Amino acid sequence: MPTPYKREQTDEGPHTPAEQCLPGTVGTVEHCLCGVAGLLCTGAILALWYPALVAVTQPLYVLSSTAVVAVVTTLWLLTWLGVEFVWEWRAGRLRGEL
């Protein structure tokens, strides 16, 4: 038999005990800030290593620009992921259990 609905009850709350134990969720602003921080770190790294990256990809001739873009994109995504992990760890939302 279902429990009667009360006025103070809402359907917006967590429904399972596992969802109630979570300390918080990550918002869009946090993701965007981590992405921008990753982009700035990638820019700083590229400012130092861009000539070496161009020299390494130069033997690819026409595909060298594609290789540079692939390396820069991969570096940015990995830096973004690292900043995201550090942010979650500092916020106390990163758990070691699965």
Work out how many domains the chain is built from and give that number.
1
User: Tokens 């001739």 sit at which residue?
Assistant: 61
Q: Is residue 67 part of a domain?
A: yes
Q: Is residue 64 part of a domain?
A: yes
pLDDT tens track for 41-91: 999 999 999 999 999 999 999 999 999 999 999 999 999 999 998 888 887
Q: Is residue 69 part of a domain?
A: yes
Q: What is the pTM of this model?
A: 0.68
Domain that holds residue 64: 49-92
Between 92 and 46, the more confident residue is 46
CB-CB contact of 46 with 40 (8 Å): no
Residue 2: count other Cβ atoms within 10 Å of its Cβ.
4
